[in-house]
Structure 1
Amino acid sequence: MAIHDYPYKKGINLTAWILQIIVCLILMGASAWLLSVIDSGDIDSILGEYDGLFTAAAGLQIGITALTIVFDIVEMVLIGRKRMPPGLYLSSACIKTAIWGVIFVLNLIGLSILSIILSGILLVTSLLQLIHGARIMHRKRKGTLQGGGAYTPANANNPAGYAEAGYGAGYGVQSTEYKAQSPQPPAYDPAFHQPQQGAGSYELDSRAR
């Protein structure tokens, strides 16, 4: 599996994970308590025909909070093991932001102060992760983001690039240009090639005697 060592900020993620898990556990516990009360039949006379609606809402909230916790655990594991690609991180943040954004608006309509506060915390932390993931994704597309286990391949036609890439450190890069094994002969010089007379030789005089 590819390594995705991207600069995920611990300050943003740790804050988001801790707050999201705590708030989700609170909401999950409240929903489970409401289901137990409804099943006991103690408030059937109060809820009346809305009994099924409250049951469905509590069950849905348990499912949403459990899904958020699963997303957080997956993010923790993948980022901790440097296996989290920016696209998956951004997708997870988008899903959480969309879900808790809708729930926050519904709580505003219902004027439930405690629910507004809790869902607001989940929305803000998810939105922070969304913005952080969008920035990482934008830098990755521009090519200004380091990470992902990328490396610079050596170029056989560029010894300088080979050395810069860190390959063959400590070894000299030798050129592959062909060099002649014997020196080229010197240029012809008539004076140098003038015949020399040996010792004891004589030259016939062509003059008349």
Structure 2
Amino acid sequence: MAKHDYPYRKSINITAWILQILVCIVLLAASAWLLWFVEQQDLDTILGDYNGLFTASAGLQIAITGLNIVIDIIEIILISKKRMPPELFLASACIKTAIWGIIFTLDVIAQSVLSCILTIILLVTSLIQLVHAAIIVHRKRRGTLRGGNYAPAVNPQGLEEGVHAQPVPGYYYPPPTNTEYKSPAPSPPPPQQYGYPAGDAYAPQVPAGSFELDSRARNV
């Protein structure tokens, strides 16, 4: 599995995970206690036809809070191991935001103040993670995100304008090529080749751009 070392902000995720897990544990314990209370007490005369609906809603809340805790644990493991793709992180944040948005709406309709306070914490933290994940995915698609085995390319326009880009890890920079013009003609041999010492005024002068053949200088 490829590594995805993306800039997931700890200040956002750790705060969201702690609040979500704590609130989910409170809701999970409250729902379990309500189910136990209904089993121990005969509330058919009080709840009437709503007894089954009350039990089903408590069981559904247990399942939803348990699902949120499982999603948080998966996020913690994958991000800590650098195995979390941004698309998966965005999908998990969307699921949590949608779930707690629906439950918060139902709690507002039911005018349950305590449930509204707890679910709004879950909704806000999920929404913050959703925005954070959306920003990461957007930057990844635009190619401006560092991490995840991705290295941005050098800006050709900046190079043309004389602005040298900083080296980026993982990007191959070819060595600079020498554009100095060199003549294909061989360079004249030094005077020592003719048996004359260097600087001798009587040494034969070979014109530039010529070569020696049979002790005679010939032009190229």
Structure 1 match to 2:27: 27
CA distance in 1, matches of 2:170, 2:134: 32
Q: Could you tell me how far 1:37 is from its partner in structure 2?
A: 1.2
Aligned to 1:150: 150
Shift of 1:152: 7.7
Partner of 1:138: 138
Q: Does the residue aligned with 2:4 lie in a helix, a strand or coil?
A: coil
**Distance verdict in 2 for CA 1:112–1:149, change over 3 Å:** same
TM superposition score normalised by structure 1: 0.75
Partners of 1:3 and 1:82 within 8 A in 2: yes
Match of 1:109 in 2: 109
1:34 counterpart SS class: helix
Is the contact between residue 90 and residue 134 of structure 2 (CA under 8 Å) also seen in structure 1? yes
CA shift, 1:149, in A, is: 2.0
Query: Is the 1:152–1:165 Cα contact (8 Å) retained in structure 2?
Result: no
**2:210 aligned residue:** 186
The count of residues paired between Structure 1 and Structure 2 equals 177
TM superposition shift of 1:150: 2.8
The aligned amino acid for 2:126 is S
Which amino acid in structure 1 is aligned with residue 85 of structure 2? P
In the alignment, the residues of structure 2 paired with residue 109 and residue 16 of structure 1 have an alpha-carbon distance, to the nearest angstrom, of 26
CA distance in 2, matches of 1:124, 1:65: 16
Q: Is the 8 A contact 1:38 1:44 kept in 2?
A: no
Q: What is the rounded CA distance, in whole Å, between the counterparts of 1:168 and 1:133 in structure 2?
A: 30
| Cα contact 2:144–2:152 (8 A) shared by 1 | no
Give the superposition deviation at 1:45.
Answer: 1.9
Q: What is aligned with 1:56?
A: 56
1:27-48, CA deviations, whole angstroms, 9 ceiling, x for partnerless residues?
0111101111111233232111
Question: Cα–Cα, structure 1 residues 50 and 145, in superposed 2: closer, same or farther, change >3 Å?
Answer: same
Gaps of at least 5 residues in structure 1 are 154-162, 176-181, 194-209
Deviations 1:166-197 (A, max 9, x none): 7999xx8899xxxxxx9488269xxx77xxxx
What is the distance in 2 between the residues matched to 1:144 and 1:37? 55
In 2 relative to 1, CA 53–17 (structure 1 residues): closer, same or farther, beyond 3 Å? same
Unpaired segments ≥5 residues, structure 2: 154-166, 179-184, 188-208
- For 2:36, give the aligned amino acid: S
Structure 1, 29-38 or 39-48: larger mean CA deviation: 39-48
**In 2, Cα distance between equivalents of 1:167 and 1:48:** 71
- Structure 2 distance, partners of 1:25, 1:130, is 22
3-state SS of 1:82 partner: coil
Separation in 2 of the partners of 1:168 and 1:145? 18
CA distance in 2, matches of 1:14, 1:57: 29
User: Does structure 1 retain, via aligned residues, the 8 Å contact 2:24–2:65?
Assistant: yes
Distance 1:90 1:22 in 2: 22
Cα deviations by residue, 1:139-162 (Å, 9 ceiling, x for unpaired): 111100000023589xxxxxxxxx
Q: Quick one: percent identity of the two aligned structures? A: 59
Q: Which has the larger radius of gyration?
A: 1
- Distance in structure 1 (CA, Å) of the matches to 2:130 and 2:102: 16
